[in-house]
């Protein structure tokens, strides 16, 4: 559950989190998605209803605690924020993951400790693994305040990751490089097969051979929360059948449209295609 306060002091409370935003965008584009989440029993009635997936596609694991976040945005573009974790969830174990025939595993977490290296390696034996590094860099202090620290097991884990997602700041933390393209090249050199880096101006992908970039063209930022989750999930699911440029265009248009409305994306592929026709006609092949 997110409590989001904008730079003017307006606060809204919404169900949030990477698993919610990620599953929504992939499902909206027509992909067959299963979400695996953990939460306290007291929160199930309210939070499970926020998913856009059919109920049979949601696996909820019992936990002693759910994750609650407080986000305060300091600028109109919502690029600077202070986050606090007021309740931390419990780590996932490989034994808890449903035994399903899947094309892709997406580890979409919130804070350090949600997943570990053992889980990545275990899942990678069965299907390609996509990782958002937020859950490996963002840590929770004793007072609930959030801070970022490099992922000490990155060189051990990156060779097991097919798709890696960071934002510009996370890429710099991991590599020490401010230049997003140079950071992507280094992350690829360390083992990740495709690197996606989000920025407020664009989504960038590097596949070891070429760089691909697509501009974000959202008309407003009402739904800024969930930008990275939405774009990454859309991209990796489209990549199952599409080229990098095709998947990137669809993903960037999806997140641009999503950012205009708070909450998870509830549109359709037809809505995204219409948005592409209207705002990305110059980039269509």
145-202 pLDDT, tens digit per residue, is 999 999 999 999 999 999 999 999 999 999 999 999 999 999 999 999 999 999 989 9
**Which parts of the chain have pLDDT scores under 50?**
none
- Predicted pLDDT at 243: 97
Nearest by Cα to 130 from 165, 174, 101, 99:
165
Contact 49, 26 (CB under 8 A): no
What pLDDT score does 285 carry?
67
pLDDT of residue 44: 92
How far is residue 70's CA from residue 103's CA, in Å, rounded to a whole number? 34
Residue 83's pLDDT is 86
Q: Note the pLDDT of residue 221.
A: 84
pLDDT (0 to 100) of residue 156: 97
Residue with tokens 């095709």: 246
The full set of domains in the chain, from first to last, is: 2-283 (3.40.1190.20)
pLDDT attached to residue 78: 76
Handedness of CA 145, 22, 169, 6 (dihedral sign): negative
């Amino acid at each position: 559950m997110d409590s989001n306060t904008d730079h003017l002091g307006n606060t809204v409370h919404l169900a949030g989190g990477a698993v919610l935003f990620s599953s929504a965008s992939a499902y909206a584009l027509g992909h067959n998605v299963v979400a695996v989440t953990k939460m306290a029993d007291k929160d199930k009635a309210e939070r499970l209803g926020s998913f856009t997936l059919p109920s049979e596609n949601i696996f909820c694991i019992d936990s002693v605690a759910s994750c609650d976040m407080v986000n305060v945005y300091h600028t109109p573009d919502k690029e600077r924020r202070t986050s606090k974790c007021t309740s931390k969830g419990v780590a996932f174990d490989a034994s808890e993951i449903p035994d399903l025939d899947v094309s892709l595993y997406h580890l979409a977490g919130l804070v350090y400790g949600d997943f570990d290296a053992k889980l990545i390696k275990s899942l990678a034996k069965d299907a390609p693994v996509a990782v958002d590094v937020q859950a490996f860099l963002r840590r929770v202090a004793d007072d609930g305040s959030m801070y970022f620290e490099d992922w000490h097991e990155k060189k051990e884990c990156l060779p097991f990751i097919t798709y890696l997602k960071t934002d510009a700041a996370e890429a710099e933390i991991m590599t020490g490089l401010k230049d997003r393209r140079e950071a992507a090249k280094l992350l690829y050199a360390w083992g990740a097969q495709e690197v996606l880096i989000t920025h407020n101006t664009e989504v960038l992908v590097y596949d070891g051979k070429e760089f691909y970039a697509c501009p974000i063209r959202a008309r407003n930022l009402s739904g800024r929360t969930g930008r990275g989750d939405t774009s990454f999930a859309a991209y990796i699911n489209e990549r199952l059948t599409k080229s990098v440029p095709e998947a990137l265009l669809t993903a960037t248009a999806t997140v641009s449209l999503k950012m205009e409305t708070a909450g998870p994306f509830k549109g359709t592929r037809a809505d995204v295609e219409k948005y592409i026709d209207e705002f990305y006609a110059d980039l269509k092949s």
